[in-house]
A = this chain, B = another copy of it.
Amino acid sequence: MAVEAKTVADSCAQAKEASRVLATLDSAPKDAALRAVAHELEARVDEIVEANAGDLEDGRASGLTSALLDRLTLDEERIRAMAAGVRTIVELPDPIGEELESRTLYNGLQLRKVRVPLGVVAIVYEARPNVTVDAAALAIKSGNAVVLRGSSSAQRSNAVLARIVADTVEAAGLPAGTVTLIAGGDRSDLAELARQDRYVDLIIPRGGGGLKAALQDGATVPVIFAAAGNCHVYVDSAADVAMAQRIAYNAKVQRPGVCNAAETLLVHSDIAADVLPGLMEKLREAGVELRMDARVRAVAGGDGEGLVDATEEDWDTEYLDLTMAMRVVDSLEEAIDHINHHGTGHSEAIVTADEAAAEAFTSGVDAACVYVNASTRFTDGGEFGMGAEMGNSTQKLHARGPIALRELTTSKYVVHGTGQVRE
* Residues in A lying within 8 Å of B, measured CB to CB: 20, 23-24, 103, 105-106, 109, 111, 113, 118-119, 201-202, 222, 240, 243, 246-247, 249-251, 254-255, 340, 358, 360, 362-364, 366-375, 377-379, 383-385, 395-398, 400-401, 410-423
B415 x A366 contact (CB < 8 A): no
17 contacts between A and B (CB under 8 A): A20-B340, A109-B374, A109-B378, A246-B421, A251-B421, A362-B412, A368-B413, A370-B412, A370-B414, A371-B417, A372-B414, A372-B415, A374-B416, A374-B418, A375-B422, A384-B413, A401-B413
Nearest CB on B from A215, distance (A): 14
A360 x B397 contact (CB < 8 A): no
A419 x B385 contact (CB < 8 A): no
A373 x B105 contact (CB < 8 A): no
Find A422's partner among B106, B362, B377 (CB 8 Å cutoff). B377
A369 x B418 contact (CB < 8 A): no
Known: A23-B366, A111-B384, A222-B397. 12 other contacts (CB 8 A): A105-B383, A105-B384, A105-B385, A109-B378, A119-B396, A247-B421, A370-B415, A371-B415, A372-B414, A379-B413, A384-B413, A401-B413
Q: Which residue of B lies closest to A371 (CB)?
A: B415
Nearest CB on B from A368, distance (A): 6
When distances are taken between beta carbons in the complex, the residues of chain B under 8 Å from A247 are 419, 421
Q: Which residue of B lies closest to A260 (CB)?
A: B422
When distances are taken between beta carbons in the complex, the residues of chain B under 8 Å from A370 are 412-415
A397 x B415 contact (CB < 8 A): no
Q: Is the interface of A mostly helix, strand, loop or mixed?
A: mixed
Bound Cα distance A33, B202 (Å): 39
Find A419's partner among B222, B243, B366, B400 (CB 8 Å cutoff). B243
Do A369 and B410 contact each other (CB < 8 Å), given the known contacts A201-B396, A397-B398, A420-B375?
A: no
Find A369's partner among B360, B401, B412 (CB 8 Å cutoff). B412
Bound Cα distance A414, B412 (Å): 28
Most chain B beta-carbon neighbours within 10 Å: one of A364, A410, A418:
A410
Do A417 and B250 contact each other (CB < 8 Å), given the known contacts A111-B384, A398-B398, A411-B400?
A: no
Bound Cα distance A247, B100 (Å): 27
A250 x B421 contact (CB < 8 A): yes
B246 x A419 contact (CB < 8 A): yes
When distances are taken between beta carbons in the complex, the residues of chain B under 8 Å from A360 are 24
When distances are taken between beta carbons in the complex, the residues of chain B under 8 Å from A371 are 415-417
When distances are taken between beta carbons in the complex, the residues of chain B under 8 Å from A106 are 385
When distances are taken between beta carbons in the complex, the residues of chain B under 8 Å from A111 are 384-385
Bound Cα distance A325, B379 (Å): 52
When distances are taken between beta carbons in the complex, the residues of chain B under 8 Å from A340 are 20
Find A254's partner among B201, B414, B416, B422 (CB 8 Å cutoff). B422
When distances are taken between beta carbons in the complex, the residues of chain B under 8 Å from A202 are 396-397
A364 x B419 contact (CB < 8 A): no
When distances are taken between beta carbons in the complex, the residues of chain B under 8 Å from A423 are 254
B413 x A372 contact (CB < 8 A): no
Bound Cα distance A331, B230 (Å): 56
Do A374 and B201 contact each other (CB < 8 Å), given the known contacts A20-B366, A103-B385, A412-B368?
A: no
Do A372 and B23 contact each other (CB < 8 Å), given the known contacts A254-B421, A384-B111?
A: no
When distances are taken between beta carbons in the complex, the residues of chain B under 8 Å from A377 are 421-422
B396 x A397 contact (CB < 8 A): no
B105 x A240 contact (CB < 8 A): no
Q: Which residue of B lies closest to A422 (CB)?
A: B377
Bound Cα distance A246, B119 (Å): 33
Bound Cα distance A247, B417 (Å): 11
Q: Which residue of B lies closest to A372 (CB)?
A: B416
When distances are taken between beta carbons in the complex, the residues of chain B under 8 Å from A362 are 412, 414
When distances are taken between beta carbons in the complex, the residues of chain B under 8 Å from A378 are 105, 109, 415, 420, 422
